[in-house]
Each structure stands twice: as C-alpha cells, then as structure tokens.
Amino acid sequence: MAEVKILTEHYHDDNYRTVDGYLAKNGYEMLKKALKMQPTEIITLVKDAGLRGRGGAGFPTGMKWSFLPNNGEERYLLCNADEGEPCTFKDRMMMERAPHQLIEGMIISAFAVQSKKSYIYIRGEYFYAADVLRKAIKEAYDKGFLGKNILGSGFSHDLDVYCGAGAYICGEETGMISSLEGLKGQPKLKPPFPAVKGYLAKPTVVNNVETLASVIYILRDGVQEYRKNGTEKSPGTKLFSVSGDVMKPGNYEVPLGYPLKDLIEKECGGLKPGRKLKAVIPGGTSAPVLTAEEAYKATMDYECLANMKSMLGSGAITIIDDTRCMVDLLGVITHFYHHESCGQCTPCREGTGWLNKIVRSIHAGNATVNDIDTLCKVADNMKGRTICALSDAAALPVLSFVPKFRSEFEYYIREGKSQVRGISYAQMHH
C-alpha cells in the first residue's frame, strides 16, 4: 500500500486554486450531478459510504445531517476551518491549494441539508488561506455556482468567510457558533445540540473542511468505490499531518487503516539517522501518546487507536524520537491548554492551570514525587466533567505521558534535570 491521492490528486497543480484550473480538472461536475438528485438521496449516499467527521470526533456525517428537525426553520451549514489542534495543518493546505474543492463540497452538502446560507469559520492566523478562499468564492459567484438559482436548479445558496480571532476553543463546534454569533467564544451547554438549536438558535450542521470536500468524491465514485479504501468502520482516505522527528514531515493522504509504521518509514522517509522512535502522538496533542512499541502496532483508523486508548483525532501525527524529553514536552502541552481554556467550567479553568503549575514546578526542581500522583489525580478529575472536551484534551496527555514515561518524571524530580538531555529546564532555555 501507498499513498492514495483522491482529495489531493491535483494539489501539485498551481492553477488548481483558480476556477479555470479547477474546471479543467472536471471541477464542479459533481455539483451539477448533485443538483439533479434529491437532497435525501445525497444524505443516504453519504450515510452508506460511512463518511466520518474528519475534524476529530469521527462522528458519522450522514447521521449528523439526518438529525436536523423537519420544522421548516432556516438551516445553516458551517464549515469548521478553525484547525486549532496543535500539529494539524491539513485544512490549511486544502484551502490554499484547492479552495474550489471546499466550495463545491459545501454547496453539495448545503443542498443535501437544504441550507440557504453557509459560513466558513477560518482560523484567524490563516490570512493567506482566507484570501484565497475569498477570491475563489468571488469566482464561484461569477460563474453562477453560488448565489440565486444555481445552474438553473432553483436552489440558491450564499457562502461567506468569517475569520476567527485565534482561540483554540472556537474550534469546538458550539464555541465556534458562539464566536460566529459575535459572542465570546465559549462552548454552549448541550442539549440542545447544534442540529436542533445552533447558529442564531436555528438548526445547524458543522463539518470539517476535509469532510465537506470528501462528499464530492463519494458522489463521483459511488459508495462501492469509495469504500474500497479504508476499513469497514472507517472507510475512505484521510489526510495526515505528520510532524516531528521524521525526514520528510508533511501532509499525506492514505487510506484509513494504514499502518503507522509504514507511514513513518515509507512515506515520511523514516526517522533521522541514528535516532530511535520513542513515542507518537497520533491525533493532535489532545490524543493520548503512544509508546514506540504501540506505535509500530497501530493502524491509522478510529477503532484501532480507540482500542489503544488513544484517538485518531484530527490526524495530526507527531513523531517523537529518543532525544526528546517527555517532561519538557508535557510542559508545552499543559501550557497550551492552560492558555486556551475558555474559563467557563471550573474543573477546566482551575485544573488546566493547576496541571501546568505542577509541571512547571517539576521543571524548576521544586516538586516532590507525590506531585506526580497529584498530577494524575487532578487530570483524572477534570476528565468528563465539563461542557466541552477541552478539559479531557488537557487531561488525556497527562494521563498518558505520566504513566507511560513515569521514570523520566521521577528522574527529573530526583535529579532536577532531564534524563534524556542531562540538563535542567533553566539551562535548556537560557
């Protein structure tokens, strides 16, 4: 097996980001096909294809769409392009290289859920991608793919880009909705779920960039063909953003269920010479870390990683080799979640800060061995106690780093320096 380029087939072509270049590669053909179908047909197709959300949770997309109530209320489709999960950079490439792919996918999806208005909520730092998207949307309007009565089908749709302000929490779907409504970016209580009461209290679907783009290829290839890639429960291909200590980091599109070992050694050219694999974070920093042993056994699909008590998440794979100190890395992660907690729920607001402070005191040499247990206890009690999953995201790395690399933490506390690097935090950073 090797890379299977479905989404990324034409990404090498610089012209692909313009409407002409996109049309030259049979772009917007599937839109024409979709507009002739019944909306429910498309939903059934997506359901049968088993497409799962590519943003992190892996929730079946077709199912999400069918949750919308049939009460005649206005519906909204939101594209989540916030991509805040550390080490993820697949959506950025998709939007920069193939904006029309996303736009086409969104119009098809909007048609399927019968939404007249959709927004792309894009991460604040993605200036260039937002620029590319805005240009592409203008082109699509000019060509009649957006606006009133699209291609004479009677279906009208408007699309807009909305830039976030750089908060991680706005990648959570209800946080994103709050932000889009002009409120403080804080997740909302569920129930009601966005499918019932979302943006402006109207039924709303929120999907990731990659999910929406994938809809085109389900339509193009049909269910049978689409399911040829991937596993029974995780069909299709997925983009993985590989970063860290490999020779060729980058975005790779492989079928789900692809062995992690192959991805590291074949696609990414293996580790740097003389280095050994120590750990892998398989789904963005909020996913529990895998040890080298586990990583070599893992296949990149939702089920296998769930069995290993980790998760596929956004598909951001961070490779950690034996020169990295896990105590330092955990410090980076806890600092991030402390900085990004929205502060709504008490366990997360106080807990993320507490975790970070304990790790910092380990770095500073002020901690005792008991603090390791406190660290785990705090993380354990933050898990599953809040409105959104940020608290879990902050707790899970702690609950995997500490038990799996406990000796490194104990060494750090005992000796006041890193076991791997042989120097203290202060020496390393000054």
In the complex, the residues that contact another protein under the rule CB under 8 A are 167, 184, 189, 191, 338-347, 349-354, 357-358, 361, 371, 374, 377-378, 381-382, 384-387
Closer to another protein by Cβ: residue 191 or 273: 191
The amino acid at 129? A
Neighbours of 127 (CB within 10 A): 11
- The pair of structure tokens assigned to 94 is 């998709």
- The pair of structure tokens assigned to 256 is 């789900």
Strand-strand pairing, 76-81 and 117-122: parallel
- The pair of structure tokens assigned to 255 is 């079928």
List helix spans (H) across 89-192.
90-97, 99-113, 127-142, 173-180
Closer to another protein by Cβ: residue 46 or 387: 387
Closer to another protein by Cβ: residue 364 or 423: 364
Closer to another protein by Cβ: residue 301 or 371: 371
Question: Do 226 and 98 contact (CB within 8 A), yes or no?
Answer: no
Tell me how far, at minimum, the Cβ of 61 lies from another protein, in Å. Answer: 24
Closer to another protein by Cβ: residue 301 or 340: 340
The amino acid at 287? A
- The pair of structure tokens assigned to 69 is 């109530």
Tell me how far, at minimum, the Cβ of 430 lies from another protein, in Å. Answer: 22
Closer to another protein by Cβ: residue 270 or 343: 343
Closer to another protein by Cβ: residue 138 or 190: 190
Whole-angstrom distance, CA of residue 132 vs CA of residue 94: 11
Residues constituting the chain: 430
Of 59, 311, 384, the closest CA to residue 193 belongs to 59
Q: CA angle 107-221-142, nearest 5°?
A: 30
Tell me how far, at minimum, the Cβ of 366 lies from another protein, in Å. Answer: 9
Task: Quickly list DSSP for 160-188.
Answer: EEEE--S-GGGGSHHHHHHHHTTS-S-PP
Tell me how far, at minimum, the Cβ of 193 lies from another protein, in Å. Answer: 12
Tell me how far, at minimum, the Cβ of 225 lies from another protein, in Å. Answer: 39
Tell me how far, at minimum, the Cβ of 401 lies from another protein, in Å. Answer: 19
- The pair of structure tokens assigned to 33 is 């096909």
Tell me how far, at minimum, the Cβ of 274 lies from another protein, in Å. Answer: 39
